[in-house]
Amino acid sequence: MKLALSIFMLFMIVVGYAVGQKQKSKQPCEDEQTQGGMNICWGKEFKKADAGLNKTYQQLMGMLDADDKTQLKNVETAWIKYRDANCDFVGSQFKGGTMQPMIYAICMTDVTNNRTTELKNQIKDRNQ
């Protein structure tokens, strides 16, 4: 009985530690103290997301034949137009405000990261 109780307590400690570690993970730009700093930070986050997308895009392009490359290029061109227009719209609710660049960059980062995930899934599907 004591062994079972000891194992249970050890399990609870490990679970508590794991939960505590997840809560400590930082979100991008959370340490910034000014709006200007947040705008700059989120701009950098978007640049990182865009670089990741470009890397994944090139990886997928390397797997495709000529017809599929043309199709992906057309899709990506249309997706970029959508992303830019959508994030312009999202940011427009803060038109003229100091938050607008941050809101725009957050949108661009999120949508770009989502697209990267989509392309990575395409790579994974084509490798099966």
pLDDT for res 128: 87
pLDDT for res 21: 55
- Cα 61 → chain centroid: 21
**Separation between Cα atoms, residue 68 and residue 63, nearest integer Å:** 9
50 pLDDT higher than 70: yes
114 pLDDT higher than 70: yes
Sign of the torsion angle spanned by Cα atoms 114, 120, 124, 127: positive
pLDDT for res 40: 95
How many domains does the chain divide into? 1
Average pLDDT over residues 13-31: 69
pLDDT for res 12: 55
* C-alpha dist (Å) from residue 85 to 68, 74, 127: 26, 17, 33
Whether 71 is covered by a domain: the verdict is yes
pLDDT for res 14: 56
Average pLDDT over residues 116-126: 97
Whether 1 is covered by a domain: the verdict is no
Q: What is the CATH number of the domain that holds 108?
A: 1.20.1270.180
**18: buried, middle or exposed (CB in 10 Å: 19+, 13-18, 0-12)?**
exposed
Sign of the torsion angle spanned by Cα atoms 114, 117, 123, 124: negative
Average pLDDT over residues 38-55: 97
Range of the domain at 87: 34-127
> What pTM value is reported for the model?
0.78
